[in-house]
């Protein structure tokens, strides 16, 4: 017997697709009108296209759809009304505050219940080793691809250096490996929560969960029950906060476009294009073969990471996508205890998109300064970046901080870094997207290697 609800559902889907397609065509017509010297007509057509897509979205609400639509609307607002766009930054900041409110209790509850509630004390060490090996291999490949891409492109040659030096960011202290290891462990857990040190909170949670797992059942189970309820509550709060995600994504892009403008980006278009081409090569040459080798269902995985990746792309911060990424990967079939450990750890050790960005930016800096790097200098750059890029999660403009440290360590001039500041937000979009996808991918692969990935069975 046929389901009577099926035809109306297909009708809604068809109507949604038709309205979305009409909106896209109308948007293209608006861009064409602007290029033909009809700015008012172009704005009118593009705004009408956005409104049509809004009406289409009411028929079939979806977080990824509304996020992408809000991003388009944000770009439009930034181009047409830059003054008003400049007033929208607080919406993105508000969203990030709500995310930071969630992260620490969510990590604490999920990690501790994963270890103590499911008796995973012995497994956590094995998972940690697998995750760290995977992180190191993937990020190293990212550094190599970025270096090769920039040498093939030569985007830095002939770029005019900025004349003023007073606005240059201060050079950070180069951390030794001992300091990096020391900074992984919290000195004061309340301070770690306040400073949003994700990895320190995760490590404290591992210790807490391990200690709780060693207690007898009569003392352990009541607290595990409370923590399990806390984890479920925090995931419910995450769903509340994510309703605001499209607004934050649109506001972030509106502020970026309105404050920077597109004309200022033209001298560095080649660098931006090279970066996104390198990310495409990284996906095809590294990520896709790994997913196929570990037999991860591609369609299901793409559907799982689409929403957190879009949020990370629009807000240029992986932190904004963390709670949703954890929830989506758990729905994908990765056990909660693996998700709660691997994804936060990846924030410091699996900077997938950042590794491509870092090596490209370092070679670009040398090219802009007129330096012809030898093979030994390229190897020195890669080795320095492998060490310097660890443990910088939560640092604003972390890539630029690492880049300055690397330039200081291998005698590359820091003046060309000022050029990258102008397009750092555009580069950060791709970097964050890849970091989010890479961390989700790491949790799925570790779960598959443990034989506990439900989606892979």
**Residues 123, 125, 128, 133, Cα dihedral to 10°:** -110
Residue 374 sits in the same domain as residue 426: yes
Residue 220 sits in the same domain as residue 297: yes
Residue 40 sits in the same domain as residue 134: no
Highest average pLDDT, of 24-38, 55-69, 269-283, 384-398, comes from: 269-283
Distance CA 369, CA 407 (A): 12
Residue 31 sits in the same domain as residue 128: no
Give me the number of domains the chain comprises. Answer: 2
- pLDDT of res. 387: 65
Q: Is the pLDDT of residue 397 over 60?
A: no
Domain presence at residue 36: yes
Residue 27 sits in the same domain as residue 145: no
Residue 363 sits in the same domain as residue 217: yes
Q: How confident is the model at residue 444 (pLDDT cuts 50, 70, 90)?
A: very high
**What is the share, in percent, of the chain residues with pLDDT greater than 90?**
11
Domain presence at residue 408: yes
Predicted TM-score of the model (pTM): 0.70
Residue 36 sits in the same domain as residue 167: no
More confident residue, 405 or 343: 343
Are residues 79 and 262 in contact, defined by beta-carbon separation less than 8 angstroms? yes
Give the CATH number for residue 450: 1.10.3860.10
Residue 46 sits in the same domain as residue 150: no
Range of the domain at 26: 16-61
Half-sphere exposure for 165 (CA within 13 Å, toward CB): 4
Distance CA 324, CA 79 (A): 30
Residue 125 sits in the same domain as residue 214: yes
Q: How confident is the model at residue 329 (pLDDT cuts 50, 70, 90)?
A: very high
Distance CA 190, CA 385 (A): 31
Q: Which long-range contacts (CB under 8 A, 24 or more apart) does 184-192 make?
A: 184/348, 184/391
Distance CA 416, CA 88 (A): 30
Q: How confident is the model at residue 448 (pLDDT cuts 50, 70, 90)?
A: very high
Residue 290 sits in the same domain as residue 143: yes
- pLDDT of res. 422: 58
Domain presence at residue 243: no
Domain presence at residue 283: yes
The set of residues, in sequence order, having a beta carbon less than 8 Å from that of 141 and lying 6+ positions away, is 282, 285, 286
Domain presence at residue 71: no
Q: Is the pLDDT of residue 411 over 80?
A: no
- Tokens of residue 304, six digits: 């799982």
Residue 351 has φ and ψ, to the nearest 5°, of: -80, 75
Q: What is the mean pLDDT of residues 178-204?
A: 78
Q: Is the pLDDT of residue 137 over 70?
A: yes
Enter the DSSP assignment of 286: I
Domain presence at residue 40: yes
Residue 366 sits in the same domain as residue 225: yes
Q: Is the pLDDT of residue 145 over 80?
A: yes
Q: Is the pLDDT of residue 222 over 80?
A: yes
Residue 31 sits in the same domain as residue 162: no
- pLDDT of res. 278: 92
Domain presence at residue 154: yes
Domain presence at residue 131: yes
Q: What is the mean pLDDT of residues 189-205?
A: 80
- pLDDT of res. 55: 72
The set of residues, in sequence order, having a beta carbon less than 8 Å from that of 108 and lying 6+ positions away, is 201, 204, 205, 208, 227, 230
């Amino acid at each position: 017997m046929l389901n009577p609800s099926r035809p109306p559902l297909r009708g809604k889907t068809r109507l949604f697709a038709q309205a979305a397609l009409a909106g896209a065509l109308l948007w293209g017509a608006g861009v064409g009108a602007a290029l033909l010297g009809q700015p008012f007509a172009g704005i009118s057509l593009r705004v009408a296209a956005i409104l049509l897509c809004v009406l289409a979205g009411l028929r079939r609400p979806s977080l990824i759809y509304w996020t992408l639509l809000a991003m388009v609307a944000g770009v439009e607002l930034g181009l047409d009304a830059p003054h008003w766009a400049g007033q929208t930054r607080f919406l993105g900041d508000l969203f990030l505050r709500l995310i930071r409110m969630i992260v620490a209790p969510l990590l604490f509850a999920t990690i501790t219940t994963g270890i103590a509630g499911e008796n995973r004390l012995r497994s956590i060490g094995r998972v940690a080793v697998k995750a760290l090996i995977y992180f190191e291999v993937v990020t190293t490949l990212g550094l190599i691809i970025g270096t090769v891409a920039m040498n093939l492109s030569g985007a830095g040659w002939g770029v005019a250096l900025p004349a003023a030096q007073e606005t240059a960011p201060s050079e950070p202290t180069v951390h030794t490996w001992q300091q990096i290891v020391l900074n992984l462990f919290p000195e004061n857990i309340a301070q770690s929560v306040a400073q949003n040190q994700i990895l320190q909170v995760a490590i404290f949670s591992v210790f807490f969960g391990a200690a709780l797992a060693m207690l007898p059942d009569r003392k352990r189970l009541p607290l595990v029950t409370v923590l399990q309820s806390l984890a479920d509550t925090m995931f419910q709060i995450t769903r509340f906060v994510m309703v605001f995600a499209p607004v934050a994504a649109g506001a972030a892009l509106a502020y970026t476009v309105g404050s920077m403008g597109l004309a200022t980006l033209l001298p560095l278009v080649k660098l931006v294009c090279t970066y996104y081409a390198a990310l495409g090569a990284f996906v095809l040459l590294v990520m896709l073969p790994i997913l196929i080798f570990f037999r991860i269902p591609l369609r299901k995985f793409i559907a799982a990471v689409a929403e957190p990746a879009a949020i990370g792309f629009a807000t240029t911060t992986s932190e904004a996508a963390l709670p949703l990424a954890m929830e989506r990967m758990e729905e994908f079939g990765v056990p909660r205890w693996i998700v709660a450990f691997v994804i936060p750890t990846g924030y410091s050790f699996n900077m997938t998109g950042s590794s491509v960005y870092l090596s490209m930016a370092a070679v670009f800096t040398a090219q802009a300064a007129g330096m012809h790097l030898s093979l030994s200098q390229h190897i020195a750059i890669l080795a320095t970046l492998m060490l310097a890029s660890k443990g910088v999660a939560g640092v604003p403009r972390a890539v630029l901080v690492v880049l300055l440290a690397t330039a200081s360590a291998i005698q590359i001039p820091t003046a060309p870094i000022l050029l990258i500041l102008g397009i750092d937000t555009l580069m950060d979009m791709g970097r964050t997207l890849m970091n989010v996808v890479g961390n989700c991918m790491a949790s799925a692969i570790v779960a598959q290697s443990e034989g506990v990935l439900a989606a892979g069975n």
